[in-house]
């Protein structure tokens, strides 16, 4: 039944594009020539970008985007011979915006079963897991803590970016501690630095940047059992054909196999650490 409902919804999209004014980004997916040929005709590749260093970063002064997923967006635009355009969004809206046709691909999206019912995914650019960063001198943190259960105590507050995979994972695991949901990367870190929150819940590589920037007091642990271990990929419109998805997969597989993604990650990490000094 679900399959029939989704098929009917997809068949209705061309009519909705005419009646409801869907963006050309969504509409050109319906052409017989293929989605990326439609992007080439439009002359621009739109990438939905929610800030999360080192994946995606945005200079507040210039509006310029960087980070290794932003770099991959630019490089895929080069392959298509079009201009890259970044559309600012939040983690709460990064899937909905893709569904609405506001952009062609979402950057740095964790591959989950729930999201896979709404969007398609490329192959992963990297593997992801959630870690917990905190002040090693915090008396609320028990010595030898190794699991979420060890930190799930009354009076302890965990800061997390709202709408992210880590938000959903920690929300399902925590029964007693308080969860402080904040809109962005900077806000969650500031909450821990200012001691409004005790624990920072984020991607392990992102938390590594946080601990490297605060070596005197910040530590991080990968909880056991793991909160989440997933691939991080491009999110793609649900209506894309297998052939259209394969175009992105071949592009990304080569970048991973040649070590180019690792180079981009190192560059992004260096940029974050330099900015923190």
Tell me the pLDDT tens digit for each residue of 206-234: 898 899 889 999 999 999 999 988 899 99
Rounded mean pLDDT, 179-194:
95
Q: What is the pLDDT of residue 32?
A: 56
Q: What is the pLDDT of residue 15?
A: 36
Tell me which residue of 104, 108, 121 sits closest to 37, measured CA to CA: 104
The answer to whether 161 touches 188, Cβ cutoff 8 Å, is yes
C-alpha distances in Å from residue 195, one per residue of 81, 152, 158, 159, 180: 48, 17, 11, 10, 12
The pLDDT tens digits for 152-177 are 999 999 999 999 989 999 999 999 99
- Is the model more confident about 14 or about 123? 123
Rounded distance between C-alpha atoms, residue 269 and residue 275, angstroms: 10
Rounded mean pLDDT, 253-269:
94
The percentage of the chain sitting over the pLDDT mark of 90, rounded to a whole number, equals: 73
Whether residue 267 is predicted with pLDDT greater than 50 in this model: the reply is yes
Give the domains, in start order, of the chain with CATH numbers: 42-126+231-276 (3.40.190.10), 129-229 (3.40.190.10)
Q: Omega of the bond prior to 184 within 30 degrees of 0, cis?
A: no
Q: What is the pLDDT of residue 212?
A: 86
- Average pLDDT of every residue of the chain: 88
For residue 178, how many other CB atoms are within 10 A of its CB? 13
- Is the model more confident about 13 or about 106? 106
Rounded mean pLDDT, 100-116:
95
Q: What is the pLDDT of residue 270?
A: 87
Match 């009646």 to its residue by tokens. Answer: 19
Q: SS3 letters for 234-251?
A: EEECCCCCHHHHHHHHHH
The pLDDT tens digits for 17-38 are 333 344 444 444 444 579 999 9
Burial class (CB in 10 A: 0-12, 13-18, 19+), 256: middle
């Amino acid at each position: 039944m679900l399959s029939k409902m989704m098929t009917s919804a997809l068949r209705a999209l061309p009519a909705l594009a005419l009646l409801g004014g869907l963006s050309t980004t969504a509409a050109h997916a319906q052409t017989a020539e293929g989605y990326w040929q439609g992007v080439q005709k439009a002359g621009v590749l739109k990438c939905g970008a929610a800030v999360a260093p080192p994946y995606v970063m945005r200079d507040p002064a210039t509006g310029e985007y960087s980070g290794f997923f932003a770099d991959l967006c630019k490089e895929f635009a080069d392959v298509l011979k079009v201009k890259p355009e970044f559309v600012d969004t939040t983690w709460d809206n990064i899937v909905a915006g893709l569904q609405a046709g506001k952009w062609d691909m979402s950057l740095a999206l964790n591959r989950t079963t729930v999201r896979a019912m709404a969007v398609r995914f490329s192959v992963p650019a990297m593997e992801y897991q959630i870690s917990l960063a905190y002040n090693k001198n915090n008396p609320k943190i028990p010595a030898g803590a190794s699991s979420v259960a060890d930190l799930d105590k009354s009076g302890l507050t965990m800061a997390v970016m709202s709408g992210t995979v880590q938000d959903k994972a920690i929300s399902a695991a925590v029964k007693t501690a308080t969860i402080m949901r904040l809109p962005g990367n900077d806000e969650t870190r500031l909450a821990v630095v200012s001691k409004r929150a005790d624990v920072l819940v984020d991607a392990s590589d992102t938390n590594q940047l946080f601990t490297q920037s605060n070596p005197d007091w910040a530590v991080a642990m990968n909880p056991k059992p793991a909160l989440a271990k997933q691939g991080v990929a491009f999110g793609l419109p649900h209506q894309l054909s297998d052939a259209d998805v394969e175009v992105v997969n071949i592009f990304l597989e080569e970048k991973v196999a040649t070590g180019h993604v690792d180079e981009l990650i190192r560059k992004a990490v260096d940029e974050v650490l330099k900015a923190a000094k």
